[in-house]
A and B are shown apart, each in its own frame.
Chain A
């Protein structure tokens, strides 16, 4: 058994090697490598599969009660400072390894179908593999510095993958936004890390926790300082896990290909923030201020995300806001001390949300056959409808995911979400109320999505809907260009003809009138992911909580039989009943509005225009940030440059005696006999040296 621990470093290294081989191939023999499609994908998928097998072996060994294992190598040193890197395998790591490798493995299989016609197929696999490697490196990190390293690396992979279709302007903007927003979080993480190091002289998680506790108790460090450091560290998760106010990058990140939306922006990377909170739990749990900030951040995020998701028409954007909301739940759970509950929801969410995203990818893939490769049409739910008839597997799996996220028992999401909501109730009733209402909204928007996509009449051939979407798009562009930029009609014509031409040139085939089910490589991962989406929640039921027996805060002892003995059925039924109840209310509303059409959603929107606009405009976060930060920083930078040109350059030029001569000397130099004058300068200098040397 020991041997697998010694070779555990292979888990992140295998995908890295794959990425490097493909990358080198692409850069040195670009054409040849990009034609080796199936060899490349099989190679990468099997490396990931090997990592998955190793991960399962480690998980099994940990489950059998093997001691945590750590191996370190000295990485950097200067004088008496030593910093080691390595890997550590404990329960938390083993769980994350399994989650990451399974989702990555399935997403990689799915990619083969989804990216089949893309010229960047091989490059995409290289990026996917690089990401898997970084993410696996992150979860095995034994200390904060190594976490920070891989934290940035997953951010880089996310940047590369969001900008994968780099000829799209929206993708170009989105990838930069993602990276910079994440850097703001990393800024906090870096500062917090340095602060904690300054106080405790350590980067190890539990050592920091212990020493910080001692310091606060002895009064050597004020509680406020400790809280500040903790909150700074928490800024990292705020950005990475798309918490308010640094969530703005996640919806835009949907510009990337759908497989990575599933893998990175739903299942793994965005959950890294929650993972980091879990790792830092020994530090956070003793600082009540930090814990309540974490909990409230999560609560607000869950609520805002859910309210925005209601009005989204883009299927991926809707799912993105739902991810944000669910991450809010996890962070909320962590914040109220629910280490196990947060990690449990991370696990269930990883599976059902990855599946939902892959379903949306399958839908988009099907829609593209009808409306063309334009994300504005292919992803808009107003163009969909009735897809269940055309793509039954996708529809069923999407329904399973929808039930799971809505918290309907016995699907996975019910158990984990209910555990969080139960804990929140004990901690703070106000917070519970928000979480509870959010659960209802979640059920509502998810079923809205399901009904508008898969039920009703297929609207893909409907030109009026198409024109409506086009018009909205133009309005948005018009707004961003400012009033009077261009006559909208002119633009319509131009864009329309451009669109037709583009389609003709790049694809040159006629579109069918109805969408088709995706190939087996895409539906198989959906089916496989449906299994944990239904069942995985059963490992963490409150009456037999195997999950908590495996994952519980470091330093705590958990006895499952004892916990089961404390289990109070009536209390459980009350809590579960209330959350299922509100979910059912949400579902009923969705049925009436989007399936039966007995209530007209447009009428409701017209009744409360302010709230509708608030949700539709994403609470105006993007507009405010654009005007304050983007324009502000540009203006500031321009002003500094002006100062540099006009003031600093001028003053320094004038300041010295040397520069007083500049004007005169320049004239001579511009005569073109520069070499000669350079010799004079040199001779003068040499003369000066000799002269000074003699005296």
Chain B
């Protein structure tokens, strides 16, 4: 009945958006119909995605699949063109999964439920669109569009400083995304043909100087989103004020857009510039890992602590992208999915804890473990996942980045040693802040002060279900990473090959121009060859 030609991706994008438009007409007195409606829509859309993945997606094919292209506004050369490949498929599935769970996580929302679920469903479609669209102009549009629901979700349902946080969020992200527009336009008009199609853009032959400019512009835009220090300061504010479901989307999906675009555009379209910028990416990644781990350790506000931990984990993504190895890139992609799951679960737990303690300050918590045993157990499991415990997805991702970078032949040994050493310092710092956090919330004698005015009920089945659903893929990937990596392996191998092709060419140029990044010495270290 349903053929492979059916526009699966378009449907998955438009279906939740269309469904959201019906929300105002739903008969709903107590706000309970609307959430069931949203949940069912979310589940259906997730089912559509999974079905499309099983029927229309071939894991061995590195090219775009499930492609659809329609002329939209021919005068502007704007096409509705969507498709997916190894880079985006896992993230699209992740989006469907996390957003559906976020809708379930939003169960207790009582303030303006119609508007809330309307925005959630709009986000659903918008987020998938960001990963699926294959037209530069359209990409910019959906990138901007998806900011609006986030902005409103922050501004209406946030904490005390929500207006400040929401405004900062929109200014940072919208402001920086102008760079996408500028760079996108410049690339589209470069050369003889004008095209916004990403495939075409990737194949154009740009001069190195042009590439460098474009790369820098994209980098600013995506560094804000990922985020890369020092463009991260919107994130603790936004995360510090968001409610749990919004949090899950922010950490689970929105941050991944930065990483995704970095691979798709910076690395995929501008490989020569990538070869020059790569050492800088590595250094920024290191800074992310260590700096954010330290700030997270010092933070006394639970939400902000976990927010900084997200920043720290994203450092591995940039290092992996800049490693010029299959393994490193694969690790970076895995880290995005893994952090999407782990970050969402941690932020959900932060919300669940806040619902009970009504405080986010660690100094006022402590000793609540006896009253909230199940929440304690889930917190422990998710914290362990976040500190990259083997058997969980975060470990595999970090290990792949480490091994990938160690076997990379694009850097000289000294640089590699320093980078690995510093990145490994993160391995020590992460448990320090995560376990301190656990200790300060749950361990210790019963907190009389808190229990005197708050009723600390243990987790309800809905909460256990959400965390359970998140832990299953976390542990599944941790036990057998191939279930995820095989989805994108073909693509990451192809992309790495392309990136490596541009290595020697650039390194000669780099040597003559004596580019500022001393670490990239161009001469390829040949690993000891042993038969």
Contact A198 B464 (CB under 8 A): no
Contact A149 B395 (CB under 8 A): yes
Q: Which residues of B contact A604 (CB under 8 A)?
A: none
Q: Which residues of B contact A511 (CB under 8 A)?
A: none
Distance in angstroms between the alpha carbons of A198 and B391 in the assembled complex:
24
Contact B428 A187 (CB under 8 A): yes
Contact B144 A685 (CB under 8 A): yes
Q: Which residues of B contact A633 (CB under 8 A)?
A: 297, 432
Contact B294 A636 (CB under 8 A): yes
Contact with A along B215-247 (1 / 0, CB 8 A): 000000000000001110100000000000000
- Asked if B190 CB lies within 8 Å of chain A CBs, one says no
Q: Which A residue sits closest to B76, measured CB to CB?
A: A693
Contact with B along A673-685 (1 / 0, CB 8 A): 0110010011001
**Taking each of A156, A172, A184, A636, which has the highest tally of chain B beta carbons within 10 Å of its own beta carbon?**
A172
Contact B464 A180 (CB under 8 A): no
A166 touching B493 in the complex, CB below 8 Å, given contacts A180-B428, A652-B233: no
Contact A674 B166 (CB under 8 A): yes
Distance in angstroms between the alpha carbons of A199 and B444 in the assembled complex:
47
B: contact size bracket: 35 or more
Contact A678 B527 (CB under 8 A): no
- Asked if B68 CB lies within 8 Å of chain A CBs, one says no
Q: Which of B291, B380, B443 contacts A169 (CB 8 A)?
A: B443
Q: Which B residue sits closest to A203, measured CB to CB?
A: B403
Distance in angstroms between the alpha carbons of A77 and B326 in the assembled complex:
9
Q: How far is the CB of B479 from chain A (nearest CB, A)?
A: 9
Q: Which of B295, B373, B439, B493 contacts A637 (CB 8 A)?
A: B295
Q: Which A residue sits closest to B156, measured CB to CB?
A: A674
Distance in angstroms between the alpha carbons of A254 and B367 in the assembled complex:
21
Chain B contacts to A: CB under 8 angstroms: 75-78, 137, 140-141, 144-145, 148, 151-152, 155-156, 163-164, 166-168, 170-172, 174-175, 178, 181, 185, 229-231, 233, 291, 294-295, 297-299, 325-327, 329-331, 367, 369-370, 373-374, 376-378, 380, 384, 389-391, 395-396, 399-400, 402-404, 406-407, 416, 420-421, 424-425, 427-428, 431-432, 435-436, 439, 442-446, 458, 464, 480-482, 485, 489, 492-493, 496, 527-528, 530
14 A-B pairs with C-beta separation under 8 A: A78-B404, A81-B403, A166-B369, A168-B445, A176-B435, A180-B428, A198-B406, A201-B527, A640-B294, A662-B167, A662-B171, A674-B166, A681-B174, A689-B137
Contact A179 B435 (CB under 8 A): yes
Distance in angstroms between the alpha carbons of A215 and B528 in the assembled complex:
8
Contact B171 A153 (CB under 8 A): no
Q: Which residues of B contact A159 (CB under 8 A)?
A: 435
A: contact size bracket: 35 or more
List the one stretch of A63-71, A189-197, A297-305, A361-369 in contact with chain B: A189-197
**Taking each of B174, B391, B416, B530, which has the highest tally of chain A beta carbons within 10 Å of its own beta carbon?**
B530
Distance in angstroms between the alpha carbons of A221 and B530 in the assembled complex:
12
Contact B171 A659 (CB under 8 A): yes
Contact B327 A78 (CB under 8 A): yes
Q: Which residues of B contact A211 (CB under 8 A)?
A: 530
A689 touching B389 in the complex, CB below 8 Å, given contacts A78-B493, A201-B530, A662-B168: no
Q: Which of A75, A77, A641, A669 contacts B167 (CB 8 A)?
A: A669
- Asked if A463 CB lies within 8 Å of chain B CBs, one says no
Contact A658 B406 (CB under 8 A): no
Contact B420 A670 (CB under 8 A): no
Distance in angstroms between the alpha carbons of A597 and B406 in the assembled complex:
62
Closest 10 CB pairs of A and B: A79-B326, A172-B443, A658-B175, A149-B390, A637-B298, A78-B330, A641-B298, A693-B76, A637-B297, A649-B233
A residues 629-682 touching B (CB-CB < 8 Å)? 633-634, 636-638, 640-641, 644, 648-649, 651-653, 656, 658-659, 661-662, 665-666, 669-670, 674-675, 678, 681-682
Q: Which B residue sits closest to A671, measured CB to CB?
A: B163
Q: Which B residue sits closest to A642, measured CB to CB?
A: B298
Contact A75 B480 (CB under 8 A): yes
Distance in angstroms between the alpha carbons of A81 and B233 in the assembled complex:
38
Contact B406 A183 (CB under 8 A): no
- Asked if A80 CB lies within 8 Å of chain B CBs, one says yes
Q: Which residues of B contact A195 (CB under 8 A)?
A: 406
Q: Which of A30, A77, A152 contacts B374 (CB 8 A)?
A: A30
A residues 534-564 touching B (CB-CB < 8 Å)? none
Distance in angstroms between the alpha carbons of A197 and B404 in the assembled complex:
11
Distance in angstroms between the alpha carbons of A190 and B376 in the assembled complex:
29
Q: Which of A169, A652, A675, A682 contacts B444 (CB 8 A)?
A: A169
Q: How far is the CB of B400 from chain A (nearest CB, A)?
A: 7
Contact B390 A640 (CB under 8 A): no
Contact A678 B151 (CB under 8 A): yes
A644 touching B141 in the complex, CB below 8 Å, given contacts A150-B390, A678-B152: no
Distance in angstroms between the alpha carbons of A71 and B511 in the assembled complex:
48
Given contacts A78-B331, A659-B171, 19 further A-B contacts (CB under 8 A): A26-B377, A74-B482, A79-B326, A79-B493, A81-B407, A166-B370, A167-B367, A167-B445, A168-B445, A169-B443, A175-B435, A176-B439, A199-B528, A201-B528, A640-B294, A651-B230, A665-B167, A674-B155, A681-B170
Q: Which A residue sits closest to B329, measured CB to CB?
A: A78
Contact B294 A689 (CB under 8 A): no
Q: Which B residue sits closest to A198, measured CB to CB?
A: B406
Q: How far is the CB of A246 from chain B (nearest CB, A)?
A: 12
Contact B167 A640 (CB under 8 A): no
Q: Which residues of A contact B528 (CB under 8 A)?
A: 199-201, 215, 220-221
Contact B181 A669 (CB under 8 A): no
Q: Which residues of A contact B78 (CB under 8 A)?
A: 693
Q: Which residues of B contact A286 (CB under 8 A)?
A: none
Q: How far is the CB of A566 from chain B (nearest CB, A)?
A: 38
- Asked if A569 CB lies within 8 Å of chain B CBs, one says no
Contact with B along A137-178 (1 / 0, CB 8 A): 000000001001110110010011001001111011101100
Q: Which A residue sits closest to B435, measured CB to CB?
A: A176
Q: How far is the CB of A491 from chain B (nearest CB, A)?
A: 16
Contact A167 B406 (CB under 8 A): no
Q: How far is the CB of B289 from chain A (nearest CB, A)?
A: 13
Contact A77 B402 (CB under 8 A): no
Q: Which residues of B contact A166 (CB under 8 A)?
A: 369-370, 376, 442-444
Q: How far is the CB of A534 from chain B (nearest CB, A)?
A: 39
Contact B530 A78 (CB under 8 A): no
Q: Which residues of A contact B148 (CB under 8 A)?
A: 678, 682
Q: Which residues of B contact A30 (CB under 8 A)?
A: 373-374, 458
Q: Which B residue sits closest to A195, measured CB to CB?
A: B406
Contact B527 A198 (CB under 8 A): yes
- Asked if A574 CB lies within 8 Å of chain B CBs, one says no
Distance in angstroms between the alpha carbons of A156 and B78 in the assembled complex:
54
- Asked if A76 CB lies within 8 Å of chain B CBs, one says yes
- Asked if A690 CB lies within 8 Å of chain B CBs, one says yes
Q: How far is the CB of B12 from chain A (nearest CB, A)?
A: 23
Contact B404 A644 (CB under 8 A): no
Distance in angstroms between the alpha carbons of A653 and B231 in the assembled complex:
9
Q: How far is the CB of B322 from chain A (nearest CB, A)?
A: 16
Contact B482 A80 (CB under 8 A): no
Distance in angstroms between the alpha carbons of A359 and B395 in the assembled complex:
39
Contact B481 A76 (CB under 8 A): yes
Q: Which of A74, A76, A659 contacts B400 (CB 8 A)?
A: A76
Q: Which residues of B contact A78 (CB under 8 A)?
A: 325-327, 329-331, 400, 404, 485, 489, 492-493
A80 touching B298 in the complex, CB below 8 Å, given contacts A649-B233, A658-B171, A662-B167: no
Q: Which of A28, A81, A191, A656 contacts B326 (CB 8 A)?
A: A81
Contact with B along A416-445 (1 / 0, CB 8 A): 000000000000000000000000000000
Contact B444 A167 (CB under 8 A): yes
Contact A76 B485 (CB under 8 A): yes
Q: Which residues of B contact A665 (CB under 8 A)?
A: 167, 171
Contact B427 A186 (CB under 8 A): yes
Q: Which A residue sits closest to B493, measured CB to CB?
A: A79
Q: Which residues of A contact B298 (CB under 8 A)?
A: 634, 637-638, 640-641
Contact A190 B295 (CB under 8 A): no
Q: Which residues of A contact B75 (CB under 8 A)?
A: 694
Contact B489 A670 (CB under 8 A): no
